[in-house]
Amino acid sequence: MLRIPCAERPDWKQKAETFGFRFHTMHGEPYWDESAYYQFTLQQIERDLEDPTAEIHQMCLEVVEQVVKSEELMRRFAIPEFYWDQIATSWYEREPSLYSRIDLAYNGTGPAKFYENNADTPTSLYETGFWQWLWLEEQVDRGKVNRQADQFNALQELLINRFSQLKTQMPDHQLHFACCKDTDEDRGTVQYLQDCAEQAGIPGAFVYVEDIGISDKGRFTDLNDTPISWMFKLYPWEFMQREDYGKHVASSHCRMIEPIWKSIISNKALLPMLWRLFPDHPNLLPAFFEDDNAASELGEYVRKPIFSREGANISVHKGNEIVIEGDGPYGAEGHVLQAWHPLPRYEDNYTLIGSWLVNDQPAGISIREDKGPITQDLSRFLPHIIL
Amino acid sequence: MKRTRRIDLSKMRKAAQPGNLAKVSIVLGGSYMLTGCDSTEAYIYRTISECALDNPLQPTECEFAYRNALADWQRTAPRYRSMSDCEYDFGYGDCRDHSNRYIPRMAGFMLSENQQGDDDFDLDFKRSKALGRSRTPSAYNKWVGADGTLFGEYGRRKMKVSGDSFTRLKGSARTIGRGGFGKTISSRSSRGS
């Protein structure tokens, strides 16, 4: 695994405009960064990233199996009691999932270490599935990257295939795509998914999360008062379950992607549960609930809120000392502790690997770099190749 | 190969897309509804019994669709000051008095294939569209909507029409509130992960 500087495509910003990639620069900082790329061997990809991704996902599903059977664990996962049955039903009916992204720390040797699972609302999808794919095509054509180079990135192809499968379960249904207002990144992500769905022959529509209505018959509606019977929502279940319309979800006859059982594995309480079920697994880091006595065996550890996004509220501790303090709005629902396993450094950058799944199939990777050891929403996205 | 084999770049372009092709209308006495991407299969019945013959398990729905169409027609059909003006456009014997004016008779009602998926019916009985039979020389013997839209030869019973031909379902999805999702976002920074 190498970091290789590379000349940027001179016209990439115009290209981004043409393809509607509007969030390559965010908060005035570059987000898409093609001044370098990462290079992996095929063995590194297949043995160290792809296979463990499939295995970690299966272990996560085993956690779901355990949690839906236990009121105590549902409580531990800070899931409101109102939703326990709904989540169990969704799981037992195997309500279909679309995608996930798991975050891994990996430096080219040894087992990748699992940080967490973005199983409900993962972003950086478009950059991965399409934009870095296009980068490779064009850099090969320009002779800047070896013609033999490949990329671990079947994301777009697998997404379209998955939508084709989902279509057979919801024949003749329109799929509404929803995200919050005022964010180009989320809007771009759901537009990409809508494009993939439409290429699979599913008619799509869009509605902002804030604009979703409820009808006199208890159906969710879009701004045209059309009932929403099937929805992809880039909006976390843990928020929805605590908001006014959460109570309507079960009776709304609306199929949701991701399904509600994903609230179990997008939750940081997943980490201590995995360690409990699969202790000493080479891809797992020791993790405990904060009030677990066994937590005292951790020397350096990361303290993560049960609900948290984009690295917010994550702090690093060494004994009683706080090494890195993270701020943010999360943490009200409790914390978990995970052994501190710092990200590898390449030059001045801390490098995190996002490993994608479409349903339960590993689908590709994305690479984020940050100036600090905790990847935040200002981290940059870099492409990669396999050679 | 571990990456997507092929991506159709033309489908990925946004800015350069031609946008929705403007619907072209041909003016031939009235305007035809041309079918676009949102076209739907539609069936036209002259009577309840024609409908029931075609949909043997839904005689009640046929009657319901007919009555709704008729009520709509009486509300929206063109009104003429004289019987002869009306008959010029709709044919001798096909007009009648209606609150001090003359309106054409409804000649049939049109049903689209069910796109809602709410119930198990093949046709969308809740949104029937009333049609008249135009006899005006420039559009002789054609199905025509209350607003003058032409739908093709009177002899035809099945055709592709634009999805816009049918009114939005009213009453069945009356939104009684909005904004019950999305509150958490205002107090916390980002939502994706």
Per-residue pLDDT tens digits for A276-316: 999 999 999 999 999 999 999 899 999 999 987 766 788 89
In a domain, B6, yes or no: no
**What per-residue confidence (pLDDT) applies to A234?**
97
Contact B190 A239 (CB under 8 A): no
Task: Reply yes or no on whether the pLDDT at B174 is more than 50.
Answer: yes
Taking only residues 92 to 151 of chain B, the set having a beta carbon closer than 8 angstroms to any beta carbon of chain A reads: 115-118
**What per-residue confidence (pLDDT) applies to B193?**
60
Chain B partners of A20 at a C-beta cutoff of 8 Å?
Answer: 13-15
Regarding predicted confidence, which is higher, B167 or B190? B167
Contact A215 B174 (CB under 8 A): yes
**What per-residue confidence (pLDDT) applies to A187?**
94
Q: Which residue in A19, A133, A225 is closest to B13 by CB distance?
A: A19
Q: Which domain holds residue B85?
A: 38-189
Chain A partners of B3 at a C-beta cutoff of 8 Å?
Answer: 133, 136, 150-154, 364
Minimum CA–CA partner of B183 in chain A:
A243
**Minimal CA–CA distance to A190: which of A121, A133, A238?**
A121
Chain A partners of B190 at a C-beta cutoff of 8 Å?
Answer: 183, 309-310, 312, 377
* CA A179 to chain CA mean position, Å: 15
Q: How many domains does chain B have?
A: 1
Share of chain A above pLDDT 70, in %: 99
The phi and psi torsions of A27 (rounded to 5 degrees) equal: 55, 35
Chain A partners of B11 at a C-beta cutoff of 8 Å?
Answer: 195, 199
Q: Which strands, in side-by-side order, build the sheet including A321-324? A: A287-289, A335-339, A300-305, A315-318, A321-324
Three-state DSSP class for A269?
coil
Per-residue pLDDT tens digits for B42-93: 999 999 999 999 988 889 999 999 999 999 999 889 899 899 989 999 999 8
**What per-residue confidence (pLDDT) applies to B170?**
47
Regarding predicted confidence, which is higher, B99 or A92? A92
**What per-residue confidence (pLDDT) applies to A202?**
95
Q: Is A319 exposed, middle or buried (0-12, 13-18, 19+ CB in 10 A)?
A: exposed
> Complex ipTM, two decimals?
0.91
Q: Which of B1, B2, B126 to mutate to test the interface with A (most CBs of A within 10 A)?
A: B2
In a domain, B157, yes or no: yes
In a domain, B23, yes or no: no
Whats the size of chain A, residue-wise? Answer: 387
In a domain, B30, yes or no: no
Per-residue pLDDT tens digits for A225-255: 899 999 999 999 999 999 999 999 999 989 9
* Residue B186: pLDDT band with limits 50, 70, 90: low
CA distances from A206 to A116, A177, A179, B184 (A): 29, 5, 9, 20
In a domain, B8, yes or no: no
Chain B partners of A248 at a C-beta cutoff of 8 Å?
Answer: 180
In a domain, B83, yes or no: yes
Taking only residues 13 to 32 of chain A, the set having a beta carbon closer than 8 angstroms to any beta carbon of chain B reads: 17-20
In a domain, B85, yes or no: yes
In a domain, B71, yes or no: yes
Residue with tokens 């993939």: A196
Q: Which residue in B2, B184, B193 is closest to A122 by CB distance?
A: B193
DSSP for A198-227, written as a single string: HHTT--EEEEEGGG-EEETTS-EE-TT--B
Chain A partners of B20 at a C-beta cutoff of 8 Å?
Answer: none
- Cβ contacts below 8 Å, chain A against chain B, sum to 168
Q: Is A200 exposed, middle or buried (0-12, 13-18, 19+ CB in 10 A)?
A: middle
Per-residue pLDDT tens digits for A196-220: 999 999 999 999 999 999 998 899 9
Task: Reply yes or no on whether the pLDDT at A376 is more than 80.
Answer: no
Per-residue pLDDT tens digits for A169-178: 988 789 999 9
* Global pTM value: 0.75
Per-residue pLDDT tens digits for A8-67: 999 999 999 999 999 999 888 899 999 999 999 999 999 999 999 999 999 999 999 999
Question: Cα distance from A94 to chain B (closest Cα, Å)?
Answer: 22
